[in-house]
Structure 1
Amino acid sequence: MRLLDLGQKVAWSRPPLEQRRKRDVTLQISGRAATDIAASIRELVERGTLRPGDALPPVRALADRLGVNRNTAVAAYRQLTQAGVVVTRGRGGTHVADRAPVAQEGFAADSVLRDVATGNPDPELIPDPSAALTRMAGRPVLYGEPVIDPGLESWADEWLRGDLAPADLRLTITSGAADAVERLLAQALVRDDAVALEDPCFLTSIHTVNVGGYRAVPVPVDDEGMTVEGLRSALEQGVRAVVSTPRAQNPTGASLSDERAAALRGVLAEHPYVLVIEDDHFSMLSREPFHSLIGPDHKRWALVRSVSKFLGPDMCLAVTASDPDTADRLAMRLTPGTTWVSHLLQRLVLALVTDPGVLAGIAAAKAHYGERNDAFAARLSALGVPTSAGDGLNLWVPLPVPARDVSEQLMRRGWLARPGDAFAIADSPAASRLRLTVHDLSEPDADRLAADIAAAVRAAGGRLVQPEVG
């Protein structure tokens, strides 16, 4: 028995297999120059010897083992960070970058469940372009010609100029808002630069920052948009860019109030060279007035408005108004690849947004989304899940229990909903929120979903709130 006990103690004292693997991998890192050390680590990653999430040895420990100066190890890690091979987590150390796919907007693939998590506009409310297509003919556009269609440029200038304080602006056309934001960040930042993002945040913005190798600094969002203290804290942490949704914030539906926007402009006035990007994605469909973070004297800024929500996601076009220097840099980012957005698409957009019938349809869609979200929020509130509708295509539903528990219960009832933690950057109340896209539900389906949410909350151990009478 004593021999058995001794054997067990010896076995228990051995390092776990995973620890031994990481130690052995560390011993395989070689090189004397920074480039050689970086190449050695990159090869270990490419062979799968180092896996996503694996921690690299601390700089001092690696330098001591290789017999090199500490600055040499720092330079090697910096090269890997700039190449997107590793990520730094401050005191958490340096880790192999995780290239796992991130959540995206849109329908869930291969699901038999009724998807109420899409974030899509109603296809019945997207304008039919058939008539406009017959009116957009024009001469061919050749290399070297202006990249913006003159008619669209004139219309877009009027669309954006009235909402901006800076008088000196230039316009750029990109293949949608996400394309604009990605290129705006790329022309201003390098890997590991810090970017202030709303928390919770639009999924595409999170993805853009992750793929670019930037560091997301969360700024909490309340009912009036970005919080003043949150933005001030992000600026104190050295962010070089701020990405904000001034109205219909996705997923919360929050819109900047006039007072909040003024307070945020006051904070940004002390940091005039921080790039401020406003993504006004809902624009023509919004029920809220536009209030900007961009002050009259801010030096680096861009306001992006796409047409995807009111003309359809496949209409990949966005207009960006920005200061002249940012516009020049954005245009330069376009030259190696896209160069310009098709003039055929530009003319089609212009034909649609200047058609009185299409504009009337957009106004009707605006009313529809607001009314349907208001009605569903009232349904939930009446069933003991107090909910208020913000602006936008979605509802942000507060729950008394973790949203993942409720979403699992909803799956058993035939629904696919998206828990709020998918949109979170840091630990936040988003984990107890559910984002729903309900504007296309029939009345019976809306009644059934509301009842199933209330039942799912109870099944997950939550208590419903009795609605007030009178």
Structure 2
Amino acid sequence: MSTDQEQVISGGTAAEIADSVRGLVERGALAPGSPLPSVRALAEQLGVNRNTAVAAYRTLARSGVVVSQGRAGTRVAQRSRVPQEGFAAAGSLRDVGTGNPDPSLIPDLRPALAAAVGRPVLYGEPVIDRDLESWARVWVGSDLPGDADDLRLTLTSGAVDAVERLLAQALLRDDAVALEDPCFLASIHLSRIGGYRAVPVPVDAEGMTVDGLRHALDQGVRAVVSTPRAQNPTGASLTPRRAAQLREVLADHPYVLVVQDDYFSFLSRRPFFSIIGPEHRRWALIRSVSKFAGPDMCLAVTASDPDTAARLALRLSPGTTWVSHLLQRLTHGVMTDAGALALIEQAGAHYAERNTAFAERLADHGLEAPPGDGLSLWVPVPVPARDVAERLMRRGWLVRTGDEFRLEPTDEPSRHLRLTVHDLDQQAARTLASDLAAAVDEAC
């Protein structure tokens, strides 16, 4: 960075310094990738305490304006495209990192369309269609603390929309939120865009770890986001033992908002275990229909305590105050059709069987990968995953490495791949397993 550029950074407080750098970035005076002064140099230049400069850079990093690179210093963040779920620009490569459901196992919506078209819905009417509400209460009621008759339901445009609005009504910028690590891509984006301080909670085979949650609560988190089943990307599901342990830890923090995103619900092969205790005061359970009724069915049901429901309704009121009643009726029609429910059950069994079969193929090549639950497989490799991914690209495969799912950058490369293999036929699955083993051998 030039001396002239250094001089234009101004401010006497962390907030003023952060605003100054942000303004320079927005005006183009600081280009993506530009190095910033060291903490010591900036503090001396502005005549402020070193901790003030540290706090300014930390604020900028949380907002995604800059990236801290340890001893390599701090740079303006590159305006690179952030990872998203779904198909990548694979070109001629076979994309096995999509995380998509199988379209042939998504129920046909056409039979329910005629019934979904009814009278127009006007402003001021109930935001939840009566039939859908009755169905949703049964869907979530048995898995909630307290009396099911007292539960509050809110509809949003999908699970990610629900999580975003729940965090927005509970957190302020720089507030801490506990997120699983490795983490669902959308949750990483939400924490960065919202300016929240993401506190990573490690995930093992039984789900969110007890020590990790305890540490996060000690860090003052105001919200916890947990995936009870088919954690993305690891496929882990809570066991009854782990859920009980997490409830015990949370019992001392009844006003921390606990969000359970049970996105896989109907498709899961594992039972649901809640980390929300009967005395917990701030909680929400989210269930979406997109994984089994199709990604275009952007509807999620959120059940929550009365205070959280009221705050969530207030958060929804300035913009989209309800989910389309046409979509609600269509969802109800699909989810009460015997043929559609049978296909959803078939889909859940299909995903589990294909993941297990591919894990067995990998085991034949000396690679152990627990099949877990969900649409994808979390595959450990003995070398940096990016080295394996590069070699797989030469063989015609596009995969996702675990680096994309980390909450915070680290110098230690990930040693996991996330593979979506349920749509591979027998020959393609054999070829991928063989190619993956060969890529690992080459990278060793």
Give your verdict on TM over 0.5: yes
Paired amino acid for 2:360: A
Q: Deviations over 1:55-103 (max 9, x none)?
A: 46659965x7557x879x78x95997699475797x9998756653311
Q: 1:299 — aligned with what?
A: 281
Query: Residue in 2 aligned with 1:118?
Result: 98
Indicate the residue corresponding to 1:335 in structure 2.
Answer: 317
1:144 deviates by 1.0
Q: Could you tell me how far apart the structure 2 residues matched to 1:36 and 1:29 are?
A: 10
Amino acid at match of 1:362: I
Within 5 A, what are the aligned runs for 1:186-197?
186-197=168-179
Q: CA deviation at 1:186?
A: 0.7
Distance 1:221 1:376 in 2: 22
Give, in whole Å, the separation in 2 of the partners of 1:203 and 1:169: 29
Which residue of 1 is the match for residue 420 of structure 2?
437
Change in Cα spacing, 1:32 to 1:394, as seen in structure 2 (3 Å) is: closer
* 1:257-268 mapped onto 2 (5 Å cutoff): 257-268=239-250
Instruction: Summarize the Cα distance change of 1:218–1:60 in structure 2 as closer, same or farther, 3 Å threshold.
Output: same
1: CA distance, partners of 2:15 / 2:194? 22
What CA distance in whole angstroms lies between the structure 1 residues aligned with 2:14 and 2:184? 37
Matching residue of 1:139: 119
2:272 matches 1:290: yes
The reply on whether 1:127 has 2:107 as its aligned counterpart is yes
Q: CA deviation at 1:433?
A: 1.1
Q: Is the 8 A contact 1:42 1:80 kept in 2?
A: no
Give the 3-state SS of the residue equivalent to 2:203 in structure 1: strand
Aligned to 1:457: 440
User: What is the rounded CA distance, in whole Å, between the counterparts of 2:6 and 2:96 in structure 1?
Assistant: 46
Q: Deviations over 1:12-48 (max 9, x none)?
A: xxxxxx4xx2x43231134679987665444322222
CA distance in 2, matches of 1:160, 1:87: 41
Residue 87 and residue 228 in structure 1: after superposition, are their counterparts in 2 closer, same or farther (change >3 A)?
Answer: farther
- The structure 1 residue matched to 2:374, chosen from 392, 401, 405, is 392
* Residue aligning to 1:212: 194
Task: Give the superposition deviation at 1:211.
Answer: 1.2
Secondary structure of the residue aligned to 1:435 is strand
Q: Which of 364, 369, 393 is 1:382 aligned to?
A: 364
Q: Is the 8 A contact 2:201 2:212 kept in 1?
A: yes
Letter in 2 for 1:147: V
Change (3 A) 1:292 1:346: same
| Residue 454 of structure 1: how far off its partner (Å) | 1.3
The two structures have a TM-score, normalised by structure 1, of 0.86
Q: Give the 5 Å matches for 1:225-304.
A: 225-304=207-286
Shift of 1:338: 1.2
Q: Is the 8 A contact 2:284 2:304 kept in 1?
A: yes
Change (3 A) 1:434 1:70: closer
Computed over aligned residues only, the root mean square deviation of the Cα atoms, in angstroms, reads 3.0
Whether 2:188 is the aligned partner of 1:223: answer: no
* Paired letter, 1:104: Q
Equivalent residue letter for 1:156: A
The answer on whether the counterparts of 1:196 and 1:216 sit within 8 Å (CA) in structure 2 is yes
Q: 1:273 to 1:95 in 2, by over 3 A?
A: farther
Tell me if structure 1 keeps the 8 A contact 2:400–2:417.
yes
SS at match of 1:207: helix
Look up the SS of the partner of 1:218 in the other structure: strand
Moved more, 426-435 or 205-214: 426-435
Q: TM-score, normalised by structure 2?
A: 0.91
Shift in alpha-carbon separation, 1:409–1:29, aligned structure 2, 3 A: closer
Partner of 1:163: 143
Larger Rg: 1
Q: CA deviation at 1:322?
A: 0.7
Residues 169, 324 of structure 1: 8 Å contact kept: yes
2:8 to 7, 25, 28: 28
Matched AA of 1:434: L
In the alignment, residue 130 of structure 2 is paired with which amino acid?
P
d(CA) in 2 for partners of 1:88, 1:186: 24
The correspondence of residues 171-190 of structure 1 with structure 2, limited to 5 A, is 171-190=153-172
Aligned length: 439
> 1:258 and 1:38, CA in 2 relative to 1: closer, same or farther beyond 3 A?
closer
Distance in 1, matches of 2:198 and 2:130, equals: 37
How far apart, in 2, do the equivalents of 1:367 and 1:404 lie?
A: 31
2 CA distance for matches of 1:310 and 1:157?
19
In the aligned structure 1, how far is the partner of 2:94 from the partner of 2:223?
38
Structure 1 counterpart of 2:128, from 144, 148, 167: 148
**CA–CA distance in 1 between the matches of 2:242 and 2:15?**
48
Q: Which residue matches 2:27?
A: 47
Provide the rounded CA distance (Å) in 2 between the counterparts of 1:37 and 1:419: 36
